Amino acid sequence: MAAHVTTPGSVEPKMWMGGIEPMKASYGKLMMWFFLISDTFTFSALLVSYGYQRFSFPAYLGDFADFKFSNLYWPIPERVYEAVPFLHGMSLPLVFVGIMTFILIASSVTMVLAVEAGHRMDRAGVEKYMLWTILGGFTFLGCQAWEWSHFIHGTDTGSVFKVIENGVEVTKTVFGANLTENQYGPPAFADFFFFITGFHGTHVFSGVILNILIFFRAATGFYDKRGSYEMVEKVGLYWHFVDLVWVFVFTFFYLV
């Protein structure tokens, strides 16, 4: 550190004169925090515009038990997300998304344990917990791929909707969802599903890539040679942020 170097006649280091860390955090860590702030705005924009669409669309007012998919009102999320792999045809509302939430929280814990091992310069600990985190990330992505596939292909019976085609109103059965058609409700609902969970999934994917990179560098002794495992901490910040976003997506997309 610059503070240890004393040249005759040199000035005392001051807060904003360089050579010291004004917020007691390294440059890289600060920049990661400010990147995450900008990412917060992006995700907020997506989630708030979902709220905006939902508020400008009629809500389902009838009894919960009588609920049917319709493109005239916003769907109840419990009725949309009720499929679980290997349990075809069973109604298990929010169970699968609950499992996904658990996986992501668990992988956040292993990530923070890797950071803690890094503080002790415990290379084996960092390797072990990074591998668990990578595994959690891949599992989450696999779950999301299944959820998307189910959402796109739809239920066995589909939904009978009145839709406008080439300016004429026709009655047809819609199976699954894409960007223009949606058996679960208004097309905008499916659009937001694809954009919000897709953007989050992209973040998880790049997080897994970064985690693999960190694991590789830790395993080859790069951070031992450098004398600091701070990179684990920086990538850890990103990974926790991905978990944080999922907490909000879970509440505002799946619960309310």
Partner 1 sequence: MSEVHHIHNQDPNAGAEQRKAIWKTFWILLILTALEFVIAFTVPHGVLKISIFIVMTIVKAFYIVGEFMHLKHEAKSLIWSILVPIIFVAWLILALLLEGDAIFQAIFG
Structure-token pair, residue 71: 């493109």
Q: Rounded to a whole number, what is the largest CA-CA distance in the chain?
A: 88
Where in 72-101 is the site for partner 1 (CB under 8 A)? 76, 78, 93-94, 98, 101
Q: What are phi and psi of 174, to 5 degrees?
A: -105, 130
Give the C-alpha separation, 54 to 193, whole Å: 13
Q: Which amino acid is at 129?
A: Y
Beta strands, E only, the chain: 159-165, 168-174
Is 67 a binding residue for partner 1 by CB under 8 A? The answer is: no
Least distance from partner 1 to the Cβ atom of residue 207, Å: 14
Is 30 a binding residue for partner 1 by CB under 8 A? The answer is: yes
Least distance from partner 1 to the Cβ atom of residue 107, Å: 11
Tell me the number of residues near partner 1 by CB under 8 A. 56
- Beta carbons within 8 Å of 10's beta carbon, 6+ residues apart: none
Where in 115-154 is the site for partner 1 (CB under 8 A)? 116-117, 119-121
Place of tokens 């860390």: 21
**What residue ranges bind partner 1 (CB under 8 A)?**
1, 22-25, 30, 33, 37, 40-41, 44-45, 48-49, 51-58, 64, 76, 78, 93-94, 98, 101-102, 105-106, 108-109, 111-113, 116-117, 119-121, 227-228, 236-237, 240-241, 243-244, 247-248, 251-252, 255-256
